[in-house]
Chain A
Amino acid sequence: DTGVSQDPRHKITKRGQNVTFRCDPISEHNRLYWYRQTLGQGPEFLTYFQNEAQLEKSRLLSDRFSAERPKGSFSTLEIQRTEQGDSAMYLCASSLGDSENEKLFFGSGTQLSVL
């Protein structure tokens, strides 16, 4: 499967714990996005990378959230001191980064449950 892959698929954690998710984009894609989706809502933008540079962050991304894409390939999203309100599906997506080809391809997501 050469699509966007995310790991883990599911994560259950206790409030206050730290969690880290990984995303592997489609190999030739330069742009990588993180979104959060709650039940019955559309994906909400969190942040995006152009290669290894984090170019934009949403106001939704509090200082407990940090994302990296160290070599411009895979990315990690870490949530520190998790809260129950962090429970959601975390979606990663990637695109070529060519303005003529902005098709966004999503991974299957990591479902986070904070108890």
Chain B
Amino acid sequence: GENVEQHPSTLSVQEGDSAVIKCTYSDSASNYFPWYKQELGKRPQLIIDIRSNVGEKKDQRIAVTLNKTAKHFSLHITETQPEDSAVYFCAASRDNYGQNFVFGPGTRLSVLP
């Protein structure tokens, strides 16, 4: 089955700096890669996603890049703000009949003012 690894497990950056979180996956059939943000005590919320036919996607300060050959994808947050502090999860999904999402273990991002 699919296995998703995520690095780093914790990340601290100064406000205004950029943050990068990296994930690798094992199943070459995976074709959908979302990122979720989870604040303490709240539900995971989808912040950006990318399909395997696209190499990069951007939404304001957030971007995701995908390297299918290497089976890794990354989340980039620019101009970080204190409200970006949260746990970020990547996930990988394959588009088959028996479909499920496999999540990475998460990265705790702290943006220091």
Residues of A whose CB lies within 8 Å of any CB of B are: 4, 31, 33, 35, 40-45, 48, 55-56, 58, 91, 99, 102-109
Neighbour of B44 across the interface among A31, A43, A56, CB < 8 A: A43
**B contact residues around A58 at 8 Å (CB):** 100
B44 A91 Cβ-Cβ under 8 A: yes
The prevalent SS among residues of B at the interface is strand
Contact of A45 among B45, B89, B102 (CB under 8 A): B102
- Complexed CA–CA distance, A106 and B98 (Å): 19
Contact across chains for B100 and A42 when beta carbons are under 8 A apart? no
Interface string of B46-61 (1 = CB under 8 A from A): 1001000000000000
9 of the cross-chain contacts (CB-CB < 8 Å) are: A40-B105, A43-B89, A43-B101, A45-B100, A45-B101, A91-B43, A99-B95, A104-B34, A106-B43
**Contacts A41-B105, A43-B103, A48-B99; A103 near B89 (Cβ below 8 A):** no
> Which residues of A sit under 8 angstroms from B43, Cβ to Cβ?
4, 91, 106-109
A103 and B99 contacting across the interface, CB-CB below 8 Å? no
Q: Which residues of B contact A109 (CB under 8 A)?
A: 43
Instruction: Evaluate contact between B103 and A42: CB separation under 8 angstroms.
Output: yes
Residue of chain B at shortest CB distance from A104: B101
Listed from nearest, the 5 A-B pairs whose CB atoms lie closest are A42-B103, A106-B43, A56-B98, A45-B100, A108-B43
Please determine whether A41 and B106 come into contact, CB atoms closer than 8 angstroms.
yes
What is the bound-complex CA distance between A44 and B98, given in angstroms?
Answer: 16
